[in-house]
Structure 1
Amino acid sequence: MLKSANFKIQVNCPNCNVYHSLSGVHNEETCQNCGSEIRLRNFFNRTLFGPLLDREKYMNGFLSGTIEQIGGSGVNEVGSYKMSYSSLPPYCEECSSHLEEKDIQNAIDNNIPFVCKCGHSMPMRIADGEVKDFHSKAIAVINDSMGVEKAKGADDKSNTVVIKCMTCGAGLELTSNTKRTIICQYCDNENYLPDTIWHKLHPHKDTEPFFIILDLEEKDLQDSLSYFLNVTALKIYEKHFHNFTGEMFRNIRLSDALKYWLIILMNDKTEDKVGVNMKPDNLRKYFYQQFALGIENHPVELRQIVAECSNSIPLDVQTKLAEDKNDDVRLALAKNKNIDVKIIKQLRNDSNTLVSQAAKEQKVGFLKGLFG
């Protein structure tokens, strides 16, 4: 199952103390401001999520949030950083439309840039050692500056700048990939690029997202939820669960991974034996509150999943589902063996014969306790 881990990251350059926007998962990047090399290997593998949080389990779950750290850098090492994270589907920066899974898979299979329907092209980087070190289940990164961005053989001269060598006067051809210090191929002398030239090659830009595409199994999702519910120190991330739920209901896009995640969340039976762990009931309560708002406008598939696959539907939500105008939603609810007796009796009188028949097959009262 494909799942996206979406990042926007700024790191504080240890040389000039100015925030630099990262363009992907890299061992090092060149500071946009001063041109110095920023070492990032330890940042991605140790610093980014801190020593307590398992980053793979965090990324495997459906969470959204921000993390900010101040200070703590070493020599040429990143200390301060700002990260914005989301589990929503990848999106096009130009038109804001979400990318379809089949189109993502096609770009990965053919190792080509992702081209949105609006025509905007986004680099596609197949997961290599650097990316795999960050997450073992990663298969690609969309919008990573090291990705495939244009057709093979294409030569983009639009950002080329030519200046004269400060020693011999020979022409020096510069691109956005040129280092701050460049060696003249004629006289072998070093040329340090002045700010006016450097900033022309590296203009200030807003922090752009990059999307790590994961290929997960059901167990990865189960382990992620279990991890957060059973580790006491992680209760502080409950807000990140709520953040994602709120984002999801603003523009619902169901994937196989998300559907499975919702099913295990709605049915989890973890008990809080310590009294200070994250409680699944709190996560479910917020989910059902959001689900109940404008329920008739949610995708039919989501309403069906909740109606049939949840053992924790609040009575007010059951009532709304029992009155759903879509026959398939009511039929799904009628098959759920965990709904209230009042709802079963209501569905037995449903105008749709399939719904009423399914409800009549449900055991109630003494018979339900006897036969299950």
Structure 2
Amino acid sequence: MKLFTNKFFISGFLFLLLLSIPLTLFFVSKQQEIRSRATPSTTLSFNPANVTATLNEPFTVDVNVDPGQNVVSSVKLVINYDTTKLEVTSADVTPSTSFGLTLEGPTITSGTILISLGIGFDVSRAVQSPTKVVSIKFKPIAPTGGTPSQITINATQTEILSLASGDQPGENVYMKNAAPATVTINQGDSPTTAPSPTEATSAPSPTTPAATAGENMPPTCSALNVDRETSGTAPFSMTFTANGKDTDGKITKVTFDFGDGPVQDITEAGNIGSNSVSVQVAHTYRSPGTYKVSATLTDDKNAISTVETCTQTITVTKAEDGGTGGVGPTSTPAAATETPAPTPAATDTPAPTLTLVATIPDTGSTETTIAVVGAVVLTVIGGLLLLAL
């Protein structure tokens, strides 16, 4: 017992006890910081991943994002390509309507495409399922020979941000594992057309176009997809995606009938001008009701697809008093149906929606409570020992 009444022993024990308090708080805070960091699970991919193209005949490649466990709010996309084989202009880069704002670009510089997209202040537009980010039209300018050309995503410069509860603001959640798109460019069939002047008089060539025209098949609309549940309260905004193809021609127009009056024709973007399209359009329903939405495809010979496989039924109910409906205040402008009108959304919606990002992480609260209680207990014990001196 004399050992515990020794002032030097008690002083040393008190010193160690007080030293353990800040150390305990430090280690607990570091553990909480590690647990609250974003878990990258977002991937990017090309569609199609393998392209066989003909010299001077443009083709389109889509870049898609799969958020995994993240909730994507913005994408900064940097793509590299071979300028000796492919040619791109800024007009050939078409952003997806899934993102409300184009933050930067598109910029084309020495084999690099840069574009940044974001959802703006409308948190309801955050991407939580696989979605197209951008469509890029490439023009082949030289044959690839035996080695295909590659289109790649720059892993060090590409950045994706998330609003998920476990993610930190400003932390990149891109997994940096995108496979490149390979492009094989063929010379084309031009050498076979010149050596046949005598065959032009034998009349087989006029019969071939006539047979093709007579056998024209209409395009097929394979699916009409939506980006959320098909029911909600007014005003209710939704993005529709029509997918389809034409086996013997090119699709020149996609027509959307929203069921509430407006009909919208899309003649650009979504790979229109080729034999396979994926066209997106946004629309807002402002009155309660049940609406049948359909999409039809028109080819270069004016044949039109049927609507049986490309329909959706949208149910809109009246919003309760004080409610905001199926979309936030930013959905009120009619610009929801048009890609180039993000500015009104920024002015109509209050900035506090951004505080969602800062207040979401709450990981490790139990550990912090234990640490604080432990620090208080150690301080009390230390005070009692000090009084014992």
TM-score of the superposed pair, with normalisation by structure 2: 0.21
TM-score of the superposed pair, with normalisation by structure 1: 0.21
- Comparing both chains, which one has the higher relative contact order based on Cα–Cα distances under 8 Å and sequence gaps of 6 or more? 2
* Structure with greater Cα Rg: 2
